[in-house]
Amino acid sequence: MLFTKVNWAPMKGVIDKLTPLSLASVALSGLALLPQSALALTEQQILEKLNNVPVFLIVNGEGQSLTASVNNEETEIQVPIVFINSAEAENFLTQAESDQAEFAGDANIAVLPLSELYTEASVQLDGPNSLVYIPSTESVDQASDIVNTEVQGVPLFAAVNAENDQYLLTNNETLPMFFSLQDLQAQLSPLIEQNPDLEGRIDIDVVSFEAILENMSTNDSELNQLLELIQFVPSSQTLQYIQSLPTAEEAAPEEAAPEEASPE
């Protein structure tokens, strides 16, 4: 088993960074202009982006994660199963308990930033791209409907200018990519209500999260001009799940107060 020191309490400071983006100031002019000074992403830049992506593992009482067997050329390796969506992890564990799976007895759901798994996988595996990511079934179905073909992997949803197929950026020149289609639509709806002429001029693009991660580790300066702008937006459902978890202080057992000695 890998990642034997997983802490399943919410990481302090992570929730504060996981705030949904607002597209209220998006305009349709000049969105294709990318910073000409952008260079290939550094390891630190990648980790900063992934630090805002909470992921979920199924772990046993010793903190060891559930793994899957993956063929790597001529060898078979065990890699952690990484759930992108908290509900998908809960459903998986509930089904395992119903099926009386051997691992389900003392299993829990662990949540941690993807940046930590990315770093561990770089050391313990053949690289972070070896991880097995499990998307939500709903997001895969929605993405497949958009692109009219079966989607493989974890889909990300982004807004594009339908007139020139260029991504819409926020006013601070970030490219939000959403794990939830509903969250993207919720951000776009007020913008379209305020500017009805935009309806029909904004489309939804679907990209693969795994492909983005793989491209981030390449040294393609032209591609990295785009990748540098990306900001991953976790689903609101996942954020609500994390906020509902007890803090480390709340989860810690209370110490019994010392009993007063009875008078003689």
Q: Is the pLDDT of residue 112 over 60?
A: yes
Give CA–CA dist 11/202, Å, rounded.
Answer: 36
What value does the mean pLDDT take over residues 183-189?
A: 90
Please state the three-class secondary structure of the chain as a single string: CCCCCCCCCCCCCHHHHCCCCCCCCCCCCCCCCCCCCCCCCCHHHHHHHHCCCEEEEEECCCCCECEEEEEECCEEEEEEEEECCHHHHHHHHHHHHHCCCHHHCCCEEEEEEHHHHHHHHHHHCCCHHHCEEECCHHHHHHHHHHHCCCCCCCEEEEEEECCCCEECCCCCCCEEEECCHHHHHHHHHHHHHHCHHHCCCEEEEEEEHHHHHHHHCCCCHHHHHHHCCEEEECCHHHHHHHHHCCCHHHHCCCCCCCCCCCCC
pLDDT in tens, 206-258: 999 988 888 887 777 667 778 888 999 999 999 999 988 876 555 555 555 55
Highest mean pLDDT range out of 34-43, 177-186, 218-227, 242-251? Answer: 177-186
Indicate the pLDDT class of residue 73, thresholds 50, 70 and 90: low
pLDDT score, position 232: 94
Predicted confidence at residue 190, as pLDDT, reads 85
pLDDT at 24 (0 to 100) = 33
In three state form, how does the secondary structure of 46-96 look?
HHHHHCCCEEEEEECCCCCECEEEEEECCEEEEEEEEECCHHHHHHHHHHH
Angle at 129 between CA 9 and CA 13, to 5 degrees: 25
* Average pLDDT of the residues in 167-179: 87
Distance CA 56, CA 86 (A): 6
Rg of the chain on CA atoms, in Å = 21
